[in-house]
A and B are shown apart, each in its own frame.
Chain A
Amino acid sequence: MFSNFLIWFVIVPVIMMAGLACCGNSNMKAIRTVMVVCSTVLLGMAIWLVCEFLDMRAAGDTSEMLFTGSWMWYEPLNIHLAVGVDGISVLMLLLSAIIVFAGTFASWKIDPLPKNFFLWFALLSTGVFGFFISIDMFTMFMFYEVALIPMYLLIGVWGTGRKEYSAMKLTLMLMGGSAFLMLGLLGIYWHSVPAGGVPTWNILEIAHNSAIAPSWQNLLFCFTFVGFGVLGAMFPFHTWSPDGHACAPTAVSMLHAGVLMKLGGYGCFRIAIYLLPSAAQELAWIFIILTGISIVYGAFSACVQTDLKYINAYSSVSHCGMVLFAILMLNRTAMTGGILQMLSHGLMTALFFALIGMIYGRTHTRDIRQMGGLMKIMPYLGVCYMIAGFASLGLPGMSGFVAEMTIFFGAFENGDMFHRVFVIAATCAIVITAVYILRVVGKLILGPVQDDHHLTLTDATWWERFSTATLIVCLAGIGFFPNWINETIQHSFTPIINALNMAI
């Protein structure tokens, strides 16, 4: 079991927790050492995994999942601990590792109870990594919930503002989503084989069997898509997102918007659409409407907010809506764009939240009406904020451009009127994105200094520079060299597209 490389993505965070548990309660040096060492190891593992994965693909290995392994867990119900990765999960693992790494540095001076904070943080990352390596629905769901629950304490204890309310709202809404999801998974499990067989939780086997009757598929598709869609901030289930993000501490916002919301998109893609293709063909229109609303509504809402975190949270609703929107177009180009958008949004939002945290830590306000001229006061942070903004509004050269262009190209391949209308509406949302990004940049970064006390503030410290620089390099990396990502994920769509074509 331990010879499988993927399983170490779960074991290392567990070791991280064990290490933290051994540290003294306020021994910051020991805690930081554990966190930095383990998150660096995770990042190194993720990079190595990408290289190895590309090598294996280049060597002609065309199986759907690589690094697979499967171990029996609950025999009476045929539950396995099954792992395996394709190009998409490899990139998601890399994204998670980068953000855990950056998040560690962004919460360098967390207070109070630093040890407990990092313990829950490590538990959250265990869930995230476990989710992306699983190909057994049961373990996948388990890791999904493992990733959700630490949010309650992370926001409730270390958050700001109306943290109790937001933490409870976020937890209950996401858990509500996962209740529907569980029901969907149970249905998939019991119908996963033709009559007489032993039901299975293994995603690959279920897809291979394709035994679920269309009448059940429709019901299960709604359950699973809504279940994951809640985490993907799909309208009208997005309301946890602005409150939750606004109240969460910096690293948690980063991890949550950067990685956790991707769990939603990834799950919709891997379970709802892949395993229930005929329902996807039939019912996609309902969710295209909902995600279309998410995109436009999120963008408009961001325009009128004055709290930096709310602006960014609504922009996340809009961008994550774009991810689900792309996946629902059910063709290869749009789905490629959707995955690119996940990566791009993950890095960009993490950068945004990190910067907002740093600015807030200095000015003690997030209200854009009370700040201005940050470029004069803290030029490094100002420049970073502008870069993140440009990535968000899709400036060529940054990741956002690559992702959104691909999505719209792909979406336009659907020639009927219904799809066209929604694609055009979604395209317009880019303009609105430019409005709210430029409004903030103009006011906050370039405008006149609003408060003379701010003139005495300092620019970023070394760990803050390190954290943000990591993310910017990655953002520009995707923007300039999108091809290697394309190369990594190109095989991953084939089984899904085949399943969809068979279902017509």
Chain B
Amino acid sequence: MDYSQFGAMLPELIILGLFFIVFLFDTFSNEGGKKLLTPVTTVLFGLATVAIWLIPSCGDTVFGGMYVDDSACKAMKAILNVGVFIVLLQSAKWVESDEVAIRKGEFYELLLVTLFGMYLMISARHFLLFIIGLESASLPLAAMVAFNKKHYESHEAAVKYILTAVFSSAILLTGLSFVYAFSGGSLYFDDIRAELSSGSTPGLLICALAFMIAGIGFKLSLVPFHLWTADVYQGAPTAITAYLSVISKGAAAFAFFVIFVQAFGTLYSAAWEWMMYAVIIVTITIGNLFAIRQKNMKRFMAFSSISQAGYIMLGVMTESALGLGSMMFYIFVYVVSNLAVFSVISAIENKTGKVGMDDYDGLHKTNPWLSFAMTLAMFSLAGIPPFAGFFSKILIFTSVTASDSMALYMLVLVALINTIISLYYYLLVVKAIWINPGEARIESFRSAFSERLALWLCVGGIVFFGLVSGIYQFCVESAATLV
């Protein structure tokens, strides 16, 4: 075997190396050393992030075409890494709390394993490798969801998560077995594409696609496969909720694009276009309508992230490098905007334990900076200029309408109308903070350094990602290698 092939997997190896460092450190260090675990992991992970941004992609296809390392995959991994780094920062205070501190090593190990799984999902060009990635990204997450051992909701959430994860994997695998049947016994994306472009459209294919959309739809919490989302988001520790809502979703969205463009792209209009129309429209609309009535901030963000997933899926409809680039940019902006919200939520929750939207009434009187950050994040999620969310939304809409199809144009109309609904509920949070009368329910406090750093990173992203066009340019250029 040619071991030099592992050179192409450098990002995975870095994460794996980090995992071993954390594992050994956690196992063999004494009590005093354990105190250093959080800062060491965070700093090392920061360095890993920088490294993954800097090392160039070799563009190789290795292990007989199973694994690919091109600039699109690299860019996506780098984007996820930034998100994970912010999650680590905002969770630093929580992992040091009495209840969790003793198990903090496990937290970091599980987190790194799931990230490793997502890397594989992104780079896989063979369905078996993809499934391995998907499983190692899903199962440890269930353990992370249950991390608040003494909280009933956390358990409930974990059970819900693991059952849906296993169930969706089963559905996905069923779909794959159909694919295996008509592709002539191969699960390589290239082989499937070659088989499909040879002309015949097996009747089994529609079935297979439906199963696969359902299977990955669970991961992305697309409607109607979203029912686990709100409960799991609410029950999980806030840092995990943040991780679930941006990192896990971003990786799944990217993998979705790769699978449907690389493996089934040739059948686009015939077989799966109409399914995606329906799924996107209901995802955006249902997510929005349910978010309006939520009173718990974490549930609120769950439905908000469902509808955001619908917008991300718009990128899949384009099947072009422009669309993929816009989607990656959308995910990046979504990462910073959503994590800004979660940073505020977790800062307040760590301090006061309050997560109700009512508790945010009059927040600007006691915590002006948190209020300011939350307002910007909400504006960004709602797509208000000059914040990054505006650009990501408009650019993805622009790339979707590029194909001059009336159906896509109308899809964008539905999405645009939905932005108004979403504006309403995002403004409800702004209203609670700035307008609702009454005394502030959350006392004035100064959040921990790590939390402030996370928040500053997010706010910087929200303000500058849109105005500085280089990031979008980077996304589109990286995406060009894939499509």
List chain A positions with a Cβ less than 8 A from chain B. 73-77, 79, 138, 141-143, 145-146, 149, 152-153, 156-157, 163-164, 167-168, 171-172, 175-176, 179-180, 182-183, 186-187, 189-190
Contact = CB atoms under 8 A, between A and B. Distances in A.
B423 interface: yes
Interface in B219-261: none
Interface string B394-430: 1101110110100001001100110110011001001
Contacts of A149: 379, 384-385
A157 B435 contact: yes
Majority secondary structure of chain B interface residues (helix, strand, loop or mixed): helix
B385 A186 contact: no
B175 interface: no
Contact of B384 (A75, A145, A179): A145
A145 B434 contact: no
Nearest to B403: A190
A145 B419 CA distance: 13
Given A145-B385, A171-B427, A179-B417, A76 B435 contact: no
A248 to B, nearest CB: 14
B193 interface: no
B469 A75 contact: yes
A179 B416 contact: yes
B412 A183 contact: yes
Nearest to B473: A75
B95 interface: no
Mostly, the A contact residues are: helix
Contacts of B413: 183
B469 A73 contact: yes
Contact of B427 (A141, A142, A152, A180): A152
A10 B299 CA distance: 39
Nearest to B467: A73
B397 A186 contact: yes
Given A76-B476, A186-B401, A190-B404, A171 B409 contact: no
A145 B423 contact: no
29 contacts: A74-B395, A74-B473, A76-B322, A76-B325, A77-B395, A141-B394, A142-B386, A142-B390, A143-B385, A145-B384, A146-B386, A152-B427, A152-B430, A156-B431, A156-B435, A167-B435, A168-B427, A171-B423, A172-B420, A172-B424, A175-B420, A175-B423, A176-B417, A183-B409, A183-B412, A186-B401, A186-B409, A186-B412, A190-B404
B473 A164 contact: no
A176 B420 CA distance: 6
A76 B423 contact: no
B476 to A, nearest CB: 4
Contacts of A138: 394
Interface in B79-126: none
Interface string B362-397: 000000000000000001000011100010001101
Contact of B473 (A76, A143, A156): A76
Interface in B333-358: none
A412 to B, nearest CB: 39
Contacts of B420: 172, 175-176, 179
A182 B413 CA distance: 9
Contacts of B397: 182, 186
Contact of A157 (B322, B401, B416, B434): B434
A488 to B, nearest CB: 30
B303 interface: no
B472 interface: yes
Given A74-B472, A145-B385, A186-B409, 8 more contacts: A74-B469, A142-B385, A145-B390, A146-B385, A146-B386, A179-B416, A183-B412, A190-B402
A75 B477 CA distance: 11
B385 A183 contact: no
Contacts of A179: 416-417, 419-420
Nearest to A199: B402
A142 B391 CA distance: 9
A179 B394 CA distance: 10
A153 B469 CA distance: 28
Nearest to A152: B427
Which of B395, B409, B435, B473 has most chain A Cβ within 10 Å? B435
A142 B388 CA distance: 12
Contacts of B423: 171-172, 175
B367 to A, nearest CB: 14
Interface in B297-339: 322, 325
Nearest to B436: A164
Contacts of B322: 76-77
Given A73-B469, A76-B473, A145-B385, A190 B401 contact: yes
A126 to B, nearest CB: 9
B434 A156 contact: yes
Nearest to B468: A73
Given A153-B434, A164-B431, A168-B427, A182 B416 contact: yes
Contacts of A145: 384-385, 390
Contacts of A74: 395, 469, 472-473
A399 to B, nearest CB: 33
Interface in B443-476: 469, 472-473, 476
Contacts of B409: 183, 186-187
A243 to B, nearest CB: 16
A167 B398 CA distance: 29
Contacts of A75: 469, 473
Contacts of B473: 74-76
A73 B390 CA distance: 15
Interface centre among A76, A79, A183, A186 (most CB of B within 10 A): A76
A143 B402 CA distance: 23
Nearest to A195: B404
Nearest to B384: A149
B398 A189 contact: yes
Contacts of A79: 469
A79 B379 CA distance: 22
Contact of A76 (B404, B416, B419, B472): B472
A143 B384 CA distance: 10
A228 to B, nearest CB: 15
A488 B379 CA distance: 39
A75 to B, nearest CB: 6
A146 B423 CA distance: 14
A483 B434 CA distance: 47
A187 B434 contact: no
Nearest to B424: A172
B398 A77 contact: yes
B401 A187 contact: yes
Contacts of B402: 190
Contacts of B430: 152-153
A415 B257 CA distance: 58
Contacts of A146: 385-386
B111 to A, nearest CB: 34
B403 to A, nearest CB: 9
Q: Which of B322, B394, B472 has its CB near the most chain A CB atoms (within 10 A)?
A: B394
Contacts of A182: 394, 397, 416
B10 to A, nearest CB: 28
A74 B473 CA distance: 7
B165 to A, nearest CB: 36
A187 B472 CA distance: 22
Contacts of B412: 183, 186
What are the 6 tightest A-B residue pairs by CB atom distance, in nearest-first order?
A179-B416, A156-B435, A76-B476, A142-B385, A74-B469, A186-B401
Most buried by B among A146, A149, A153, A189: A149
Contacts of A180: 416
Contacts of A153: 430, 434-435
Contacts of A171: 423, 427
A72 to B, nearest CB: 8
B173 to A, nearest CB: 38
Given A74-B472, A77-B395, A190-B402, A183 B427 contact: no
